[in-house]
């Protein structure tokens, strides 16, 4: 059952309203990882809740308690739950999305102020932090509600919503809420849910829409090395004391090799090698070495064949070194020995890896390697956040509905992908509600989520809104 023509027409006719809605959202710098922006995440929650309410959704703003960030005790932003429709004859779809964003500063190298939606009419691009990850897609659902209310046509399915404001910093508190709502059964906010749809991912490239049936998990570490009571002069103390920075750089160099192999014993080994059949699956995706090198902005791919490169992202774990807190990084040649430095790294996980079975291997290895250095400094290991990987059955009616919807809107059969990124609560939805979960993207592979000049193409926003709406009609139509 394709979406009614009047819905599709309405979306085209209200392009400007929808862009204004996105502009308002981008203007709220809801950066969850920065305590200075916590108020803004709350403001964004209120904005979204009022939008949902204005289109007839019953909502609840659920407090999630407090947490510690940069040594400060902070209120977690609320989750926004919603429901509309209670027709026993219709399917019930649960929508998840996040309204927080990654940090962004003009000085990082943005061409436009990151928290002002900037339109480039020549290219049809809408620039701004969160335009693609994940405010555009979240507002895509609001646009669908808007159209149905204005046209006075019933939604084809019952809808339930779960929006959060902490996804970019590990979704703290949300697992517990999902599990407790699931345990309430029919009485809970997720009672009667038949499937879940998340629009928080991207096409693999800039040409071919996709459906995503897997995400990697993550485990994030902070390793601190301390020794001196304060920063020291290298001319006075150099070669007289154990230096924390030297120890840390040596330790971090033992984690991963130049080809991406993880050097922590047992971690890569947990994952089975691909069969020839599986390799062929990756070979069939519309992707090339040129695509990865173009989106990375450098000729730096780890392999020369596309299946290997894609498997690196989709079905292998990876370990990335992110930064060193406390190190000297300013201009000039300061001759300091930093007193205390913390190295940050994370491992993206694939089944059967989880933070629970990987973290002990990491901790054991770090301690053993540090011991080998024979340093008198002190090593402290902190596990920051984590999330389990997720892989779904894509031969399900939920995916079939999304396939038909994609074909109707884009006239193309979507690629089936697994993704390298993480959305910590995806597996929680699947396990707690025992239903199929689908990732249905709005944006393209070159949107630059988390990067400078993040954008969403206007056509992806508008056609994406039609896609989300059409998907609901296809779910209603069934097999």
End-to-end Cα distance, the chain: 10
Q: Which residue lies nearer to ligand BES by CB, 77 or 424?
A: 424
Q: Which of 164, 167, 369, 474 is catalytic?
A: 167
Annotation says 100 is catalytic: yes
* CB of 347 vs ligand BES, minimal distance in Å: 12
387 near ligand BES, rule: CB under 6 A: yes
Residue from 421, 432, 452, 476 touching ligand BES (CB under 6 A): that is 421
- The pair of structure tokens assigned to 232 is 């020291």
CA torsion 102-451-70-428 (nearest 10°) is: 50
Closest-CA residue to 366 (of 243, 221, 251): 251
Q: Which residue lies nearer to ligand BES by CB, 134 or 369?
A: 134
Residue from 40, 291, 419, 474 touching ligand BES (CB under 6 A): that is 419
Strands 415-419 and 210-215, by their bridges, are parallel
Which residues ranging from 105 to 144 are in contact with Zn ion (CB under 5 A)? 133-134
Binding mask 167-206 for ligand BES (x = CB under 6 A): xx-x-----------------------------xxx----
Beta-carbon contacts of residue 93 (< 8 Å; ≥ 6 apart): 157, 158, 159, 160, 193, 194, 195, 196, 197, 472, 475
Q: Is the dihedral of CA 71, 73, 74, 78 positive or negative?
A: positive
**CB of 423 within 8 A of CB of 198?**
yes
Determine if residue 216 is left, alpha or beta; phi over 0 gives left, psi from -120 to 50 gives alpha, anything else beta: beta
- The pair of structure tokens assigned to 109 is 């190298």
* CB of 296 vs Zn ion, minimal distance in Å: 17
* DSSP class per residue in 345-371: EEEEE-TT--HHHHHHHHHHHHHHHHH
Q: How far apart are CA 370 and CA 114, in angstroms?
A: 41
Q: Which residue lies nearer to ligand BES by CB, 133 or 474?
A: 133
200 near Zn ion, rule: CB under 5 A: yes
414 near ligand BES, rule: CB under 6 A: no
* DSSP class per residue in 216-238: -EEEEEEEEEE-SSS-EEHHHHT
Which residue's CB comes closest to ligand BES? 421
Q: Which residue lies nearer to ligand BES by CB, 55 or 461?
A: 461
Query: Residue 35 binds which one of Zn ion, ligand BES, none, with CB within 5 to 8 A depending on kind?
Result: none
* CB of 378 vs Zn ion, minimal distance in Å: 34
100 near Zn ion, rule: CB under 5 A: no
Q: Is the dihedral of CA 439, 445, 446, 452 positive or negative?
A: positive
Annotation says 167 is catalytic: yes
Binding mask 138-167 for ligand BES (x = CB under 6 A): -----------------------------x
Annotated binding site: 98, 133, 168, 200, 233, 335, 348, 422, 450
Q: How far apart are CA 204 and CA 291, in angstroms?
A: 9
* CB of 211 vs ligand BES, minimal distance in Å: 12
Q: Which residue lies nearer to Zn ion by CB, 133 or 291?
A: 133
Binding mask 212-231 for ligand BES (x = CB under 6 A): ------x-------------
- The pair of structure tokens assigned to 423 is 């959305």
* CB of 168 vs ligand BES, minimal distance in Å: 5
Residue 410 CA from chain centroid, whole number? 24
Q: Which residue lies nearer to ligand BES by CB, 158 or 436?
A: 436
Which residues lie near Zn ion (CB under 5 A)? 133-134, 200
**Which residues are catalytic, by number?**
100, 167
Which residues lie near ligand BES (CB under 6 A)? 133-134, 167-168, 170, 200-202, 218, 385, 387, 419-424, 449
């Amino acid at each position: 059952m394709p979406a009614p023509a009047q819905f599709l027409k309405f979306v085209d006719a209200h392009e400007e309203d929808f862009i204004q809605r996105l502009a308002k959202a981008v203007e709220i710098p809801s950066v969850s990882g920065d305590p200075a922006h916590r108020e803004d995440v709350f403001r964004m929650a209120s904005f979204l809740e009022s939008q949902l309410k204005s289109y007839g959704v019953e909502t609840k703003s659920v407090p999630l308690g407090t947490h510690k960030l940069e040594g400060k005790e902070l209120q977690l932003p609320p989750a926004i739950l919603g429901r509309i429709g209670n027709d026993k004859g219709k399917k019930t779809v649960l929508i998840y999305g996040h309204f927080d964003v990654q940090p962004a500063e003009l000085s990082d190298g943005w061409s436009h102020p990151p928290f002002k939606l900037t339109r480039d009419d020549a290219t049809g691009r809408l620039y701004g932090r969160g335009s693609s990850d994940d405010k555009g897609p979240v507002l895509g659902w609001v646009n669908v509600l808007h159209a149905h209310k204005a046209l006075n046509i019933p939604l084809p399915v019952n809808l339930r919503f779960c929006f959060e404001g902490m996804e970019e910093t590990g979704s703290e508190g949300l697992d517990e809420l999902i599990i407790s709502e699931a345990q309430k059964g029919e009485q809970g906010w997720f009672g009667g849910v038949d499937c879940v749809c998340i629009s928080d991912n991207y096409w693999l490239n800039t040409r071919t829409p996709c459906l995503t049936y897997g995400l990697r998990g993550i485990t994030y570490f902070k390793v601190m090395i301390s020794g001196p009571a304060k920063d020291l002069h290298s001319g006075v103390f150099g070669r007289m004391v154990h230096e924390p920075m030297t120890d840390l750089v040596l330790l971090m160099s033992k984690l991963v090799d130049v080809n991406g192999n993880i050097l922590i014993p047992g971690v890569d080994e947990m994952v089975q090698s691909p069969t020839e059949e599986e390799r062929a699956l990756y070979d069939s995706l519309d992707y090339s070495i040129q695509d990865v090198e173009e989106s990375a902005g450098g000729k730096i791919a780890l392999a020369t064949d596309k299946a290997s490169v894609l498997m690196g992202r989709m079905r292998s774990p990876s370990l990335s070194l992110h930064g060193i807190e406390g190190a000297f990084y300013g201009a000039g040649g300061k001759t300091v020995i930093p007193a205390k430095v913390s190295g940050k790294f994370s491992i993206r996980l694939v089944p059967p890896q989880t933070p629970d079975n990987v973290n002990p291997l990491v901790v054991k290895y770090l301690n053993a390697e540090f011991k080998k250095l024979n340093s008198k400094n002190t090593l402290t290991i902190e596990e920051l956040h984590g999330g389990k990987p997720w892989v779904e059955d894509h031969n399900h009616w939920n995916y079939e509905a999304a396939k038909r919807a994609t074909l109707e809107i884009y006239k193309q059969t979507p690629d089936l992908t697994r993704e390298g990124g993480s959305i910590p609560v995806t597996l929680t939805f699947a396990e707690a509600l025992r239903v199929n979960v689908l990732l249905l993207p709005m944006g393209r592979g070159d949107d630059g989520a988390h990067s400078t000049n993040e954008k969403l193409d206007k056509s992806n926003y508008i056609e994406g809104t039609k896609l989300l709406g059409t998907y609901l009609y296809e779910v209603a139509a069934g097999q």
